[in-house]
Structure 1
């Protein structure tokens, strides 16, 4: 077997491969903007696959592919041809401009690839492999347009167990079983190690898993830790040595703050802006007018705006308490917590303590 341009070539191609080679040509060299005539398909068969076929054979195999359900589009063009027997012009139809329709548009593939490149929970090698698979869903012309795309950023996870963890957690969630794992953290040598207890032993986490979700370029496991009654979030890229236990998982409805209801992922993600695990509640904030877009981006459109003037706007939001706290600290001095009083006092004390460090 020989190779030319990344395409396998046999010294003499079996005729049975003709239909497969034609399909491969359509996958590699055609799209809506790059259509192929039967002659061009024949030229590619000869130059790329070392196979010759007349137009009748090419057309017959193209029709077979259509009959088998492949999404192939083409154009019918009328053509006049002189009949040598009668000397009369005869009208017939020529099929041309063949191309293979795609499951994803190039714009959709670009969006998916961008999401991979800027995610931080995938190891670099696995991310590159996924990108190559996505590129293969379009033609070679899409690949040529991808050369200018941004390189994968530094800071991606070093944990290569991510995909295995996803499979195991899917199984555990489906079977409603608890899982156990170790949790990685970086040290000053910039390498990851399992988190340890005060006595130096590796700490084991036992949790009831409910859902996996992506947020701000990171992937989280939403679960309940055995020793607590509320919801916890763990970074998927930091979980290692995961095993499924025989013990049944605790029902989400029984957790504090669940209100006896099952997990509503959309609502949960909206309230847990920064994926912190703490209680939810109503809060009132006074923000600078230019932060309206940021508030909606973070907390959604269920917030209420009031008391608007040139100096600021009052926002009422129902969200995770630590998320509200983090938002207020991140946008100092343009955000002031008006209530609840306990949260206002807490953040005020933290800001006063931080100010001491600058004196």
Structure 2
């Protein structure tokens, strides 16, 4: 007997192995019979199940195997009673966990979309890797259900070298993307004409890199806050990115994200810091590995580090890591740090304990 896709019992056995087994958690023949009874409502004949298992195991395309046993050198598939059977997934449980977590902890995706995506990738996994849907209830997600349509139109505009007519909104206190201006909350819809250049992800959100036709610099826009993006047919092709005032030569979207780690407004400049040697990974975590590092004369515990970054990003990062980092230049960034510290001191200094 050979396995075919029309063989319903073999098909059900493989489904059970996909759902309930992996290399670390194989099933016995008795367990498989139990699942068959539970799913089909009948008590299967163990001899028949054993015959089907031998055929399935003999077909390499089924990805079903018998777990190794160091104490047994015989050909296991020839045994009358087969045990320790598992389905070998295309990805490991750890790889599945990474994919599932990447989806679940992307707040820009509506919860319904996340749930559907998790179900789709579940077919890649086996065993105990399908409990991620429960985590969805513990995470917050925004509700822009047009996000994939917006992304589709953005990509189409880039591929055809066209501008985009974009309407940008914001969320209310309940996480709902407003479809019209709301004076009470202070949220106003903005309609802008953009030349799109790329898409990057930062902290679980997609950002559109584009230039507003009214200005000559490169900016970023959170895609999940875009209410509508229409491709312009009559306004000509998009602006050449090389003509923008704040774009280094051959800038790629991923480089823009590294320079603008928190996706804040502001210019990119060369930044100098002093940082404790033991904390140098803080620079790697936020700005990547494109920096120069020199010793500080007279202090073997400190590095003098130089890198390019958005000024507002550098300021926020330096304040957050003030116990390990001192921002030394440019002067404008140092002045902003001082102003922020002064404002914080004034805000919290008069509070009663």
Report the TM range for the smaller structure's normalisation: 0.7 to 0.9
Mean Cα deviation higher: 165-174 or 70-79: 70-79
Mean Cα deviation higher: 311-320 or 270-279: 311-320
Q: Is the 8 A contact 1:282 1:318 kept in 2?
A: yes
The structure with more strand, counted as a fraction of residues: 1
Aligned partner of 1:58 in structure 2 is 52
Q: Deviations over 1:281-307 (max 9, x none)?
A: 211123466653322211123333331
Deviation at 1:194, TM superposition (A): 5.2
Deviation at 1:32, TM superposition (A): 0.9
Aligned length: 330
- Residues 1:214 and 2:201 are matched in the alignment: yes
- 99, 102, 105: which is aligned to 1:112? 99
- 65, 76, 89: which is aligned to 1:102? 89
CA-atom RMSD, angstroms?
3.9
- Residues 1:272 and 2:260 are matched in the alignment: yes
Q: Show the 5 A alignment for 1:1-359.
A: 16-36=7-27, 41=32, 44-49=35-40, 52=44, 54=48, 58-59=52-53, 61-62=55-56, 65-66=59-60, 69-74=61-66, 93-94=78-79, 96=82, 97-143=84-130, 151-154=137-140, 156-187=141-172, 191-193=176-178, 202-246=189-233, 247-261=236-250, 263-287=251-275, 291-305=279-293, 306-307=295-296, 309=299, 313-332=303-322, 335-352=325-342, 355-357=345-347, 358=349
- Distance in structure 1 (CA, Å) of the matches to 2:74 and 2:203: 57
Distance 1:342 1:135, change over 3 A: same
Mean Cα deviation higher: 178-187 or 333-342: 333-342
Q: Is the 8 A contact 1:194 1:203 kept in 2?
A: no
Q: Is the 8 A contact 1:183 1:194 kept in 2?
A: no
Q: Is the 8 A contact 2:22 2:87 kept in 1?
A: yes
Q: Is the 8 A contact 1:185 1:195 kept in 2?
A: no
Q: Is the 8 A contact 2:106 2:205 kept in 1?
A: yes
- Distance in structure 2 (CA, Å) of the matches to 1:208 and 1:218: 20
Deviation at 1:329, TM superposition (A): 3.9
Q: Is the 8 A contact 1:117 1:151 kept in 2?
A: no
- Distance in structure 1 (CA, Å) of the matches to 2:153 and 2:14: 36
Distance 1:41 1:65, change over 3 A: farther
Deviation at 1:173, TM superposition (A): 2.7
- Distance in structure 2 (CA, Å) of the matches to 1:152 and 1:329: 30
Q: Is the 8 A contact 1:120 1:217 kept in 2?
A: yes
- Distance in structure 1 (CA, Å) of the matches to 2:243 and 2:285: 31
Distance 1:349 1:50, change over 3 A: closer
Q: Is the 8 A contact 2:200 2:209 kept in 1?
A: yes
Structure 1 stretches of 5 or more lacking a match?
1-13, 81-90
Q: Is the 8 A contact 2:218 2:244 kept in 1?
A: yes
SS of aligned partner of 1:230? coil
